[in-house]
Structures are given as C-alpha cells and as structure tokens.
Amino acid sequence: MSEGAAKKGEKPRKFQAIRGTRDLLPPETALWNRVEQTAHEVFGAFGYGEIRPPIFEATELFARGVGGDTDIVSKEMYTLVDRSEKLEPDPSIGSMNVFFQKVRELYKSGEIPTDEQDESALKIAEDQWKKVDDLLEGGLKSESAGTEIYKLVLFYDALRLGTRVSLRPEATASVCRAYIEHNMQQLPQPVKLYYIGPMFRRERPQKGRYRQFYQIGAEVLGGTDAPAIDAEVIEMVMTFFERLELRGVQLSVNSIGCGECRPKYVELLRAELLKVKDKLGPDSQRRIDTNPLRVLDSKLESEQGIIAKLPRIGDHLCKDCADHYAAVKRELDLRGVQYRENWRLVRGLDYYMRTTFEITAQGLGSQDAVCGGGRYDGLVELLGGPPTKGIGFAIGEDRLILSLQEARKEVASGEWRVASGKIGCDVYVAWMGEKAYATAIRAAKTLRAASFSVELPPVEQKFGKALERADKLGAKYALILGDNEVTSGEWTLKTLTDGSQQKVTEPQLLDFLRKL
C-alpha cells in the first residue's frame, strides 16, 4: 500500500494549503485578472515586453545576485537538490561502493558542485558503508546491525547528489540571467521587460506577507543610466496605480550612492553606531557588524531617536551620485510625479546603488510597502555578463489587491461588484422541455461567441426555480425558452433588475442585448 493511502475504516486525511500559501478564488480572481490586464496595457504603452522566467533557478544565482548575507538568501529560500541524472536511483547496499565511486567522479568533474563539507560527508558515508559491509559479511549477527544500517541511510540522505536549485525569491536576478543567456545586449538598448508571477520566501506569514506571493515587476537593462530612465520607471508604476485607482499612494525616494561613496559612508555609519551600540536592540547590534545600513530600516520605537541623529547618506554622496540624484528628482518633477525623500530607505537586497524607491498604499497595516525598486548597475556583470546598467521594481500583487479591496469596502458600491466581475453572468438561459433544450444550447453558444457570459442549467428546472437561481447568480437577463417560444420562434427575454419582459426572435437577440 502506498504511503498516502488511508487504512480501511480510517478517515482519509484532509489536506490544507501549506502555511503561508493560499488559494485565490473567484470572485477575487477576477480582480487579479483585471489588475494583470491593466499591467499588460500600461507597461505595453511604455514599450515593455513580457518575460516569463522559470520558477526555479540555480541557488547560486540568487546567492550571488541578491546577496549571500541578505535575509532572503540566508534564511528564506526554498532550496532542494536536483539529483544528477548521471546517478542511478537509490542504490542497494550491495552496490554502494560503485555508487560512491560515481559520486566521487562527478564531484571531481564538477558535474556535481561540491565543497569541503560535501567531501567530508561523502567520506563519512563511505566509512559507514564499510562498517555495514563488514556486518553483512558476518551475516548481520551483531546487535548493532540495525543501528548501523540506519546510520548509513542518514549519511546517504545528507549527501549532495546534484545541483542546488531554489524557488525564486524574486525575479531580478533571473531577468539578468536571461539577458546574459540570450545575448540581449545585441538588441537595441535598453531592453525593457516585465513579469508577473509567484515568488517564494520562507517568511513569518501575516497579513500581506505570504510564503508564496505574487509580484508584478519590470526591469530596464542596458543603455545609459540617464536619470530620465529612473524617473520614467517610477512614472510607469505611478501611472499603473493611478489607473487602478489605488488609494493613499506614497512614493519615497533615496539615493544610496555607488561603489565609490557608499563604502566610506558605511564606515562612518558603523563608527557612529558603535558609539551608541549599548542603546540598540540585539538585531541592530548584530547589523553594525554585518550590514550597518540595515540598522536604518529598524522600526523599533526605542531606536528611532538614535537613528534620527545618525549621519545621512545624502550628505556623503560623491559628486556623480549627488548630480544623478538631483537630476532624478528634477525628472520626477517634470513628469508631475509626487514623492517624498527618505534618507533611511536602503532596501534589503545587496544589488542596489544610487536610486532606490518604495511605494506604500492604504489599508495594509504594518506590511504597507506595495512596491520596491531601484538601480542595480553592477548586477549583470556580477552574474557573468558585460557591464550593464539596470533599474527596476517589483509590486507585491497580493498587497496591491488587499489595498484595492480595503478601499472598495469603504465605497461598498454595487457597481464595483459588477465591474470587478464578482457577478459574472449576463444571461441565464431558463429552458424547459427537450426541444427547448436544443435551442438553449444553440442560444448559449451564440451568446458566448459574442462574449456574453452565459449560465446554462444542465438539468431541466421549473421556470420559477430557474429565475430564483438566475437572481442568486446576479444575472442581468433571463432568456426563457419553453415549448411555446420554440414553436413560435419568439423568445422571452426578462430583464431581472426591473422585471420587464420582451419578445425577441433568434436573429434579433444579439443586437438587442448589445443595445441594452
């Protein structure tokens, strides 16, 4: 019997979506589709094309791209070993030595990436196998045989037998990988790409924070780092949010300098933080060492007064960065984009330089960042490509939807319910009798081909019941087809909002509905 099968008489296990993941259900999915359709339209209007990168990539790509010390890479990735195809499935104990030999060969040729730990894990497993092999020769008489075999299984399980792959925690690294892989630097620059899809981070779930969440993002790669590009990218997100009528949108911008000026500022910041170390919480204390910039992110009430007095990066930018930042702000003004400057906006990924920005919206509680982005000029090179400019953003689609829903709750208008597709039925075909059924199928086909949404009951219903159901579904019209209608060729169309009724012939139906 397979592992998952229920034993006789036992209730089969009920499954639930894994913590931090959820089902998106109708009618809410209609809103998701509307948001995504708007993204296609707005981003298309700005000259972006859609890219759909894979959902998993080499772990190394994210470790290098996003940064090994970031929370995302160090704690939050879903990683698994994609077993080398050159290895047979689980070997029997008798053929373990051949198997280990093969693993050694693959380590050596680099076909299975390896480090010191992997090598010593292999050695431990091999030694254990020898022990078990001896026991086998003795006919497994020793009392400890079971334990030793169990240990062998554990050591074997701990071996790395393939490449590490991770579910993507974000997509910027993937887009850069694709840019390099497909030689996009040969295309007219810059290349403008956008993506929509799920990302995975093992964070603590709460409102607006999930382990599988969705991003709508865009990246501009190649060409120059003209400040107008930064401003246009931001203008595009703001246009998108405006089109969706997102409420309470606040844009914060900052510049975090470049490889020239940032390290000097970080040292200065570290020195200042060391002076106040004992007044800081444990997280910030740790970050003085690992990444002092992240201290600026702190939301701890007790640290706010201290942080306010720290040196600000804006006062320590090199001339090029200061000029770039000033020009980005001018370009935003030219486009009528309203923003606030926030010198503490450093962002949690390693690849950023110069422009960083974040957008918050209403109704989201503590997780109110609905979009984050910035410039990352060194990233493509870091991933093995040519020196390439880059800037982009990602919108948290779950949060965007939450905010839209919160705003709509306030308005609570029936109109919105219809517009959002909550009620997805235009015509309910109420039919009775076999002859009418054939006509009903034909009518449904014609209406659906003309993009009306149609509900066709699969079994006969009395007209009263049918109309009740049509009402429940929020249908706008009921097309009533009984023997009379079929014989006379005159169908009855009932407008459910006001109860009025009219007769229409089959050829008139579409025109009639379109005019209403």
Q: Which stretch, 28-36, 373-381, 410-418, 462-470, contacts ligand HAM (CB under 6 A)?
A: 373-381
Q: Which is nearer to ligand HAM, 394 or 470 (CB)?
A: 394
Given the structure tokens 């334990």, which residue do they identify? 147
Shortest approach of ligand HAM to residue 208 CB, angstroms?
6
Shortest approach of ligand HAM to residue 19 CB, angstroms?
12
Closest-CA residue to 49 (of 257, 160, 196): 196
Closest-CA residue to 441 (of 427, 452, 456): 456
190 interacts with ligand HAM by CB under 6 A: no
Closest-CA residue to 357 (of 253, 496, 446, 256): 253
Within 384-413, which residues bind ligand HAM (CB under 6 A)? 392-394, 396, 398-399
232 interacts with ligand HAM by CB under 6 A: no
Question: Please, are residues 430 and 480 in contact by the beta-carbon 8 Å criterion?
Answer: yes
Q: Which is nearer to ligand HAM, 350 or 485 (CB)?
A: 350
Q: Which stretch, 154-162, 271-279, 317-325, 367-375, contacts ligand HAM (CB under 6 A)?
A: 367-375
- For ligand HAM, the binding residue among 217, 292, 378, 385 (CB under 6 A) is 217
- Give the count of residues interacting with ligand HAM (CB under 6 A): 25
363 interacts with ligand HAM by CB under 6 A: no
> Which residue's C-beta sits nearest to ligand HAM?
396
- The Cα 56–Cα 50 span in angstroms is 18
* Position 513, amino acid: L
- For ligand HAM, the binding residue among 71, 118, 203, 272 (CB under 6 A) is 203
Within 296-355, which residues bind ligand HAM (CB under 6 A)? 349
- The Cα 127–Cα 260 span in angstroms is 51
What the block records as the tokens of 118 is 């992997």
Closest-CA residue to 160 (of 55, 61, 63, 79): 79
* Position 85, amino acid: E
- For ligand HAM, the binding residue among 125, 332, 370, 480 (CB under 6 A) is 370
Q: At what angle do helices 434-449 and 506-515 cross, to 10 degrees?
A: 40
Give residues with Cβ within 8 angstroms of 27, minimum separation 6: 420, 421, 422, 423, 424
Q: Which stretch, 29-37, 188-196, 212-220, 254-262, contacts ligand HAM (CB under 6 A)?
A: 212-220
Helix (H, G, I), strand (E, B), or coil: what is residue 269? helix
Sequential DSSP letters for 146-207:
HHHHHHHHHHHHTS--EEEEEE-S-SHHHHHHHHHHTTGGGSSSSEEEEEEEEEE--PPPBT
Shortest approach of ligand HAM to residue 247 CB, angstroms?
16
Please classify residue 374 by burial: count the beta carbons closer than 10 Å to its beta carbon, then call 0-12 exposed, 13-18 middle and 19+ buried. buried
Within 121-180, which residues bind ligand HAM (CB under 6 A)? 170, 172
- For ligand HAM, the binding residue among 129, 179, 194, 213 (CB under 6 A) is 213
Q: Which stretch, 252-260, 291-299, 370-378, 434-442, contacts ligand HAM (CB under 6 A)?
A: 370-378
Q: Which is nearer to ligand HAM, 128 or 172 (CB)?
A: 172
Q: Which is nearer to ligand HAM, 53 or 113 (CB)?
A: 53
Shortest approach of ligand HAM to residue 421 CB, angstroms?
23
What the block records as the tokens of 9 is 């008489």
Q: Which is nearer to ligand HAM, 83 or 202 (CB)?
A: 202
215 interacts with ligand HAM by CB under 6 A: yes
Give residues with Cβ within 8 angstroms of 305, minimum separation 6: none
- For ligand HAM, the binding residue among 210, 240, 265, 339 (CB under 6 A) is 210
Q: Which stretch, 235-243, 366-374, 410-418, 438-446, contacts ligand HAM (CB under 6 A)?
A: 366-374
227 interacts with ligand HAM by CB under 6 A: no
225 interacts with ligand HAM by CB under 6 A: no
Count of other CB atoms within 10 angstroms of residue 190: 21
257 interacts with ligand HAM by CB under 6 A: no
Q: Which is nearer to ligand HAM, 197 or 424 (CB)?
A: 197
Within 89-118, which residues bind ligand HAM (CB under 6 A)? none
Q: How many residues does the chain have?
A: 516
Pairing outcome for strands 390-396 and 212-221: antiparallel
Order of strands across the sheet that contains 56-58? 56-58, 162-167, 79-83
Shortest approach of ligand HAM to residue 168 CB, angstroms?
10
- Residues at the interface with ligand HAM (CB under 6 A): 170, 172, 201, 203, 208-210, 213, 215, 217, 219, 349, 369-374, 376, 392-394, 396, 398-399
